[in-house]
Chains A and B, each alone.
Chain A
Amino acid sequence: MPLPDVIPFIGLGWSDVLFLLLGGVVLAAAFGVVFGRDIIKSGLFLILTLGALAGIYVMLGAAIVAGAQVLVYIGAISVLILFAIMLTQSKVAPLKLAFQTQVAPAALAAVLLALLFGLAFGSTDWGSTVFTDTPAATGTAPVAAALFGPYLLAFEIASVLILAAVIGGLYLAMEPKGDEVGEELL
């Protein structure tokens, strides 16, 4: 028996429920990242945020970006951040002072930024947007046509940038000469 298009009693479609669920997880986990006292838990909430965002990317029909998100962000960057947290965590650091003294202006600036975004999104005419149930998966052909067509130079520069970042990161985190080499992993 097929499911009905519109969920009874709520009046929303299934993709609406999925979007609200994933968006709620994204926002709640982002609040956990920003407001968490324990920085290890902040790192784990960051992984949850990135995973839920990958779900929203799939809803938008960009499965290749969702795969890159899982591979690069969840697989590499989060592990790097957790390693750095464990290397720099000291027990003497006061845990109760997670925020700087400028927390009130920062909150004001963030709220103003959100209001500005809302105003800009509400007042902009986006032209003819396609209206579907959810955007259909377009496959990778248009992505490849854009990436290897008008954005080919940016693509090549990104590869050079990653090479430079790898060399620079190795150099910066290298143990200085003269100390005992090999004590740390990084």
Chain B
Amino acid sequence: MSATNPLAPTCVVAAYSADVYGRAAIEYAEAVARASGARLVIVNATRGDSLVDARFAHDVDIEALRERLVGEGLAVEVRHDVVPDVAEAVVAAAEEVDADLVVVGVRRRTPVGKLLMGSVAQRVILDAHCPVIAVKPAS
């Protein structure tokens, strides 16, 4: 882990899912990138084992998002892939681009919900090699 200024990261990874939580993560990461001039890497991945994955963004939407951010003058890279494990893909991407910040969207979970369902955000937080910011959508 490099000792960069925590308030001025050079590369931010945003874990994106096509829902309010993913959008909250993008919004925050976008704000950080804009303020610090950091590079922004957006990861939107799916295990691809179901026919339809609502959290996997449509091609046109991801392209629109990329164009909007590029239009704002940000250095953006988008990873839109089918991977064996989504959390691992986010962590691996962060390591690969040498990110100094990862942003994930988290949802409120009941204790039982936590028990039953593994959370991608939780695994990113635990496994990432750099600081992770967990954001919640404005309710």
Query: Do A and B assemble together?
Result: no
Residues on B lying within 8 angstroms of A by beta carbon are: none
